[in-house]
Chain A
Amino acid sequence: MVQVLETIISAFNNIFSYKIRSFLTMLGIIIGVGAVITITGIGNGVKAGIFSELSSMNKSMLVVMTNNISRNSVITTGQENNDHLNNDNSNNNDKDKDLNITEGDYVTLDDSKDIAKIPGVDAVANISQFKGKVILRNGKTRRDAVTGLDNNYTAIDNFNMLYGRFINKADVDNGSYVAVIKDSVSMDVFGRLNSVGEKLEIETNESGVVYFTVIGVVAQSDLSISSQRFLENNIAIIPITTAGDVFLKEDNVDMATVILKVGTNASNIANKISKFLDMKHDKEDGYLVINQDTILDMVDTIFNSITAFVSFVAAISLLVGGVGVMNIMMVTVTERTREIGIKKSLGSSSGLIQFQFLIESIIITIIGGITGAILGFICTISLSKIINLISPLKIIPNIQLSVIIGVFIISILIGIIFGVAPARKAAKLDPVLALRFE
């Protein structure tokens, strides 16, 4: 025990008496461990960020829409929305013609009510988007998206209002002419943030000029990521029923977002909805039901493979670091040949000599591993802070304990694997020759 303890102490002394050399030897391990931890930490963080956006309410969602669309015009803010100040006269009916959708193909408010009755369904939020034009304070006009939503949308994004309130059930039931607007629109149209109670004038192709009472103002930055994108070019959010009246769409909605109860089987319900709608409307595959879990699974798989691959590349630097440790240990053994000879002449066994060099290389890799873990931790936290500053996606840095423990064990293993050869070389030295070594 005394021998082992003293050997460990002397190994530490040796490492610390050659500080720069020891640090350079560790560097490969430090970088390798740091890289693996940073990459997995950021990778998990991005994944967790995407997941929390996609499932911010911790509930599964299905998106139901007509299958009769050859290109996607609803979910993303299409390019047509970018011509803000244009006064083009195209209307939604034209759009429908382009897309080849007939009245009967749409999901209707009635469908949504039926879907809401399916067991496992928590709520259905209907969404439609149209175009309208507002007059800005500076005299210019802005033609952009007007979105019809219902009160169930709060299950997807809880809409932390800056002023006023979000659309409620009464607004939807009554088809009230009320609107929720974004902070930027409030500033552009009314010149102040709090425009609750004001009349918002929207010019539509379908119904001419329509007035809406502003009931709430929401900050773009307070929206969830998906809502931020979805409402990027929005000028007003109005009740879905009102939207049907104004834009002559009646009961039809662009899409219905189905929020499922916790613990339900999403693909099972997706099938049920699909079959139910086909039966009700006498269609075959007439409706598209997008299962969010499938998207999550895809994201999960993609991120896991990317993280695994990049970690593998980083792990190679660990291996290179290990070879560096072996190289230096070999040099150290040669340099200390005489010391080994002296120790042997004083009665140190070959086993103890071997242990001395092995423990030195293990200590080097352990210190390297710990330093690398700390470095990786700092890098993960600071990198995710930087990314969070410049990107709307919120990264939730996640360094798993298993990764740290794994990397730590790998560091020790590298110390052992790459320390054995130099240690054996030292142990095998002939004491007579070692004592003569200059």
Chain B
Amino acid sequence: MLEVKNLRKVYKNGSLEVEALKGVNFKVEEKEFVSIMGTSGSGKSTLMNILGCLDSVSYGEYILDGENVAGLSQKRLAEIRNKKIGFVFQTFNLLPKLTSIQNVELPMIYAGIGKSERRKVAEEALEKVGLAQRGKHKPNELSGGQRQRVAIARALVNKPAILLADEPTGNLDSRSSEEIMGIFQGLNREGVTIVMVTHEPDIAQHTKRTILFKDGNIVKDSIVEDQIIVGR
């Protein structure tokens, strides 16, 4: 499903070179639910941007769904972001002027899907995250947890190969965080592959596997024992 081989990312600032990722190797199989942990500056955000095709690879390979992403054109990368990746951000990143349903429809516009089809799929996605009644609300009329659920619905509409979540509970209270993790687990049970960055151990505890980063390297890659299952 997803594989990185000897992945390195070097930021250049004048003559100063900072190596954010120092040769990372790992594989994520289909239907996995992986959390990536690490302190700030450990390289986990850089990794997330690369996995999300927002940032380029300096050295090494990144294979997503059988396609080597390193070195693809900007246009192709936009297509991959649109069709193969679903993003969930810490700050939700909904467009404030659009209603929930319009926000959810957005990725489908870029995929070239017609209006009636878009509306149908968006309604289904909102229903799936329990917001069927909030389609006409704008983000500022929703709570943080509801906004994040709209963002999850938006991430899912193009049926991506992988759902990338960057600190999805970072801006939420513990009850909403629990809700979001419940949704992720439900999706994972339905077969959605999820990679999630978090720095909270109890949130990582909801996933099946944890990769720990430190100074641009993987220091630990382990199966989560005694996983917390929401609703049980």
Q: Report, nearest first, the 9 A-B pairs whose CB atoms are least far apart.
A: A347-B82, A349-B78, A347-B110, A347-B81, A431-B54, A6-B109, A346-B107, A342-B93, A2-B112
A343 engages B87 (CB within 8 Å): no
Instruction: Please name the residue on chain B nearest to A1 by beta carbon.
Output: B112
A3 engages B109 (CB within 8 Å): yes
B113 at the interface (CB under 8 A from A): yes
B114 at the interface (CB under 8 A from A): yes
A348 engages B95 (CB within 8 Å): no
Chain B nearest CB, measured from A18 CB (Å): 10
Instruction: Please name the residue on chain B nearest to A431 by beta carbon.
Output: B54
B175 at the interface (CB under 8 A from A): no
Chain A nearest CB, measured from B141 CB (Å): 17
Chain A nearest CB, measured from B79 CB (Å): 7
B111 at the interface (CB under 8 A from A): yes
A 84-109 contacts with B by CB, 8 A: none
Chain A nearest CB, measured from B78 CB (Å): 4
B87 engages A352 (CB within 8 Å): no
B95 engages A344 (CB within 8 Å): no
B113 engages A339 (CB within 8 Å): no
Question: Given contacts A2-B112, A3-B112, are A346 and B87 in contact (CB under 8 A)?
Answer: yes
B81 engages A432 (CB within 8 Å): no
Question: Given contacts A352-B110, A435-B89, A435-B93, are A346 and B54 in contact (CB under 8 A)?
Answer: no
Given A347-B81, A348-B110: 8 more A-B contacts, CB < 8 Å: A6-B109, A338-B93, A345-B89, A346-B82, A348-B78, A349-B110, A350-B78, A352-B110
Chain A nearest CB, measured from B221 CB (Å): 25
Q: How far is the CA of A181 from the CA of B165 in the complex (A)?
A: 98
A432 engages B78 (CB within 8 Å): no
Chain A nearest CB, measured from B108 CB (Å): 9
Q: How far is the CA of A431 from the CA of B81 in the complex (A)?
A: 11
The chain A residues found within 8 Å of chain B, CB to CB, are 1-3, 6, 13, 17, 338-339, 341-352, 431-432, 435
A349 engages B75 (CB within 8 Å): yes
Chain B contacts for A352, CB-based, 8 A: 110
B 41-93 contacts with A by CB, 8 A: 49, 52, 54-55, 74-75, 78-83, 87, 89, 93
B147 at the interface (CB under 8 A from A): no
B97 at the interface (CB under 8 A from A): yes
B131 at the interface (CB under 8 A from A): no
B1 at the interface (CB under 8 A from A): no
Instruction: Please name the residue on chain B nearest to A352 by beta carbon.
Output: B110
A-B contact pairs, 8 of them (CB 8 A): A3-B109, A342-B94, A345-B52, A346-B87, A347-B78, A349-B78, A349-B79, A350-B74
Q: How far is the CA of A36 from the CA of B231 in the complex (A)?
A: 71
B209 at the interface (CB under 8 A from A): no
A346 engages B97 (CB within 8 Å): no
Question: Given contacts A431-B54, A432-B49, are A345 and B93 in contact (CB under 8 A)?
Answer: yes
Instruction: Please name the residue on chain A nearest to B45 by beta carbon.
Output: A432
- Cβ contact of A351, chosen from B75, B81, B106, cutoff 8 A: B75
B154 at the interface (CB under 8 A from A): yes
Q: How far is the CA of A9 from the CA of B103 in the complex (A)?
A: 15
B75 engages A346 (CB within 8 Å): no
B112 engages A346 (CB within 8 Å): no
B78 engages A344 (CB within 8 Å): yes
A2 engages B87 (CB within 8 Å): no
Instruction: Please name the residue on chain A nearest to B102 by beta carbon.
Output: A10
B74 engages A349 (CB within 8 Å): yes
Q: How far is the CA of A352 from the CA of B82 in the complex (A)?
A: 13
Chain A contacts for B113, CB-based, 8 A: 2
A345 engages B81 (CB within 8 Å): yes
Chain B contacts for A431, CB-based, 8 A: 54
B55 engages A432 (CB within 8 Å): yes
Chain B contacts for A341, CB-based, 8 A: 93
Chain B nearest CB, measured from A428 CB (Å): 10
- Cβ contact of A2, chosen from B49, B74, B97, B109, cutoff 8 A: B109
- The interface bits of chain B over 102-129 (1 if a CB of A lies within 8 angstroms of the residue's CB, else 0) are 0000110111111100000000000000
Chain A contacts for B49, CB-based, 8 A: 432
Q: How far is the CA of A343 from the CA of B109 in the complex (A)?
A: 11
Chain B contacts for A339, CB-based, 8 A: 95
B110 engages A432 (CB within 8 Å): no
Instruction: Please name the residue on chain A nearest to B155 by beta carbon.
Output: A346
Chain A contacts for B83, CB-based, 8 A: 347
Question: Given contacts A2-B114, A351-B75, are A432 and B54 in contact (CB under 8 A)?
Answer: yes
Question: Given contacts A13-B97, A351-B75, A435-B93, are A346 and B52 in contact (CB under 8 A)?
Answer: no
Q: How far is the CA of A432 from the CA of B89 in the complex (A)?
A: 12
B74 engages A346 (CB within 8 Å): no
Chain A contacts for B52, CB-based, 8 A: 345
Chain B contacts for A346, CB-based, 8 A: 81-82, 87, 106-107, 110, 154
Q: How far is the CA of A1 from the CA of B81 in the complex (A)?
A: 19
- Cβ contact of B106, chosen from A343, A349, A435, cutoff 8 A: A343
Chain B contacts for A345, CB-based, 8 A: 52, 54, 81, 87, 89, 93
Q: How far is the CA of A117 from the CA of B103 in the complex (A)?
A: 87
Instruction: Please name the residue on chain B nearest to A349 by beta carbon.
Output: B78
Instruction: Please name the residue on chain A nearest to B154 by beta carbon.
Output: A346
Q: How far is the CA of A1 from the CA of B93 in the complex (A)?
A: 26
Q: How far is the CA of A339 from the CA of B97 in the complex (A)?
A: 10
B54 engages A435 (CB within 8 Å): yes
Q: How far is the CA of A342 from the CA of B54 in the complex (A)?
A: 11
Instruction: Please name the residue on chain A nearest to B105 by beta carbon.
Output: A6
- Cβ contact of A17, chosen from B82, B97, B107, B111, cutoff 8 A: B97
B 114-165 contacts with A by CB, 8 A: 114-115, 154, 158
Chain B nearest CB, measured from A432 CB (Å): 5
Chain B contacts for A2, CB-based, 8 A: 109, 112-115
- Cβ contact of A347, chosen from B79, B97, B114, cutoff 8 A: B79
Listed residue (A342, A347, A435) with the most chain B CB atoms within 10 angstroms of its CB: A347
Q: How far is the CA of A228 from the CA of B154 in the complex (A)?
A: 79
Chain A contacts for B114, CB-based, 8 A: 2
Chain B contacts for A344, CB-based, 8 A: 54, 78, 81
Chain A contacts for B107, CB-based, 8 A: 346-347
Question: Given contacts A13-B97, A17-B97, are A347 and B75 in contact (CB under 8 A)?
Answer: no
